[in-house]
Structure 1
Amino acid sequence: MTVKHLSVEYDKVNERGTFSPGDTLSGKVTVVTSKEIKVQSLVVKAKGKAKVSWCEQEGQATVIHSNKKKYFNFEHIILQDKKKGDGSEIISPGRNVYPFNFVIPDTDMPSSYKGRWGTITYSLRAQLTQSVWLVQKTKTEFPFLTKSEFPFASKSEMIIIGLKEQQHATRITFYGSGRITMNVTSEKMGLKQGEAMGISVEVINGSARTVTPKFYLCEKQTFVAQSKRMVHTNDIFCGTGDSVPAETSRTVTKILSIPPQLPPTFFNCCMMKLEYRLKVTLAAPLIRDPEIKLPLVILLGSPKPLQQKPKRSIWFRKLPG
């Protein structure tokens, strides 16, 4: 092969290495050849798109539901022959570097995301065409972050205001002649990636069984295509609290930490959305576990400084109970 190497790279604009609407995306295409070659064209493209796809069995037939949306699709011609197909452009032997830049549209677009049946991707593609039968391609994806501070709110101020409000729910369950009351309180509804908060669970166990609180972070992915909807859920186990013996009461406090790599909540894509819930269950032998779910919004966290000393402890406001 005459062309030994073809790559496309981008320059970082911040410490996250991410891009947002209105940013300039610049980089270079590198071509390494063993000798001089004639080419028809060398182009680089920048694309942003969302795509969903899944299969369903309807009777004896398998039906594919899919949809896609383009946010932008730009092309920058680096080299192109003067007459189509004559291969009049020349690339010298050795290493050749070609710069490029694009301005990302300053419009509301969702962040990069990869879910169970859908993806939101932003990419750079370079294509070197020597002839109809000799085409080489390369691709790289770049991380993209929406400019919207609240990509889940759908312009609802009530949701934004509720992010800092305390959440509370009660569940009463009867087992035989006994009654179990569970009161769950969380500090707030909105948490940033990597942030932690306290959860208080008051259990009044009037039954003859020992019960144990268990904590989960519930993820819900929703995909839409051709008026059809597909939902994927995933429960992330966060640990257990102290057991509450029969005929006793106890308040259990748990610190929930949001994994820093967990994708933030978003609604600003017409084909998919991502939601979370905080779930607390009471595990007991031979009975169905009662549960309480509280709304939880995961916000984009702040980038970590290059040098940061680890915190020795996490402090949070004392909860009732």
Structure 2
Amino acid sequence: MFKGTVTNLSISYDALNESNTFSRGDVISGRVTFDVSKEIKVEYLTVSAKGKASVHWTERYGRHTAFYKAKERYIKLENIIIKQNSEQNNLQPGTHVYSFTFQIPMIELPSSFVGMYGKVVYQLEAKLHRPWHLPNTSVKGFTVINPVNIQSPELLAPQMASKNKTVCCLCCASGPIALSARIERRAFTLGESIRIFSEIENGSSRTIRPKAEIVQKQTFYARGKEKSLVTKIVSVEGEPFFSGKTGTWNGELPRIPFNTSFSIQNCQILKVEYIVVVYVAIPAAIDLSVEFPVIISSFPMDYPMYM
């Protein structure tokens, strides 16, 4: 099998933390490595850092298929490692290693994300250009997170909501069902559980059951249209409330999985939102529910934030 003169082109970077993630203002340091089997002439070698969001979906209208696409660019940086007409243009056989450094701009960047109809990706790309040859290319992704100050007063504030309804039984109205619920704050981190505090009054003739869940809503925007996808992340349920029972239900949702995507609220073409839904399931009727929008971040409560 034919083997090229330039082989094993790769790009790598040094991790800054255990989670191998980066945020605005961080410095990415790495290396470009490749092997050369014989002396060659190089025009130039570049390394670039790119970040963008893109969405894409289709919809059918009879026989016609409409395509919806949109893109948004965040960063585009480039380092020229080997310049044209320099002393480094002639390379000898062997392994060659070149270092590079980028600083991520101090701008608002959405967190990395891959969804059903869109994504936010950040990549490093190395390109080696030679006369009369197609460029040799290597791409390496890196993860960016948008730091959220979950210690801010507005995110530490508890959320409360109440609702009630009357359930009809044949032609007669049954007694009211009332739900009051509270969660401790508006922002949570991966691996945390969310506690539910609720008071329930079952004045109906039916047996009802309290439940709660975290749902993720992905929304994508293009050409004036939007596409949404809702997924349940975790859920919990309590013991039944029989007819005439009034009491409290203090439940605890399972820990937020570590592979859960972070909230994205700073992108024009896609959003990732989370909602804690607390409800009572009512047989043969629409559930009575209250909703609490929450933010999911990667930092624990005692993490030293900078904003």
Q: TM-score, normalised by structure 2?
A: 0.84
Equivalent residue for 2:176, pick from 179, 194, 197: 179
Q: What residue is the counterpart of 1:24 in the other structure?
A: 27
Where do 1:63-142 residues align within 5 Å? Answer: 63-82=66-85, 89-142=89-142
Q: Is the 8 A contact 2:160 2:180 kept in 1?
A: no
Unmatched runs of 5 consecutive residues or more in structure 1:
151-156, 306-321
In the alignment, structure 1 residue 49 sits paired with structure 2 residue 52: yes
**Corresponding residue for residue 278 of structure 2:** 280
- 1:315 matched residue in structure 2: none
Q: 1:290 aligns with which of 279, 288, 291?
A: 288
Percent sequence identity over aligned pairs: 34
- Aligned pair partner of 1:15 in 11, 14, 18: 18
Q: Secondary structure at the match of 2:75?
A: strand
After superposition, residues 160-171 of structure 1 pair within 5 angstroms as 161=154, 163-171=156-164
Q: Letter of the aligned partner of 1:40 in structure 2?
A: E
Task: For 1:190 and 1:178, locate their aligned partners in 2 and report how far apart those are by CA, in whole Å.
Answer: 36
Q: Offset of 1:14 from its aligned partner?
A: 3.1
Contact 2:178 2:202 in 1 (8 A): yes
* 1:200 counterpart residue number: 197
Task: Check whether the contact 2:234–2:256 (CA below 8 A) recurs between aligned residues.
Answer: no
Q: Find the aligned partners of 1:301 and 1:106 in 2 and give their Cα distance.
A: 19
1:113 Cα offset (Å): 1.9
Q: Which runs of 5+ in 2 are unaligned?
A: none
Distance 1:29 1:303, change over 3 A: farther
Residue 303 of structure 1, CA deviation: 9.9
Give the letter for the 2:30 counterpart.
G
Whole-angstrom CA distance in 1 between matches of 2:278 and 2:157: 20
Number of corresponding residues: 293
Distance in 2 between the 1:292 and 1:103 partners? 44
Does the aligned pair in 1 maintain the 2:159–2:292 contact within 8 Å?
A: no
* Aligned match of 2:266: 268
Counterpart CA distance in 1 for 2:198 and 2:104 is: 47
Q: Secondary structure at the match of 1:69?
A: strand
Match of 1:228 among 213, 225, 230: 225
| RMSD after superposition | 2.7
Distance 1:304 1:187, change over 3 A: closer
SS in 2 for 1:106: coil
AA matched with 1:263: S
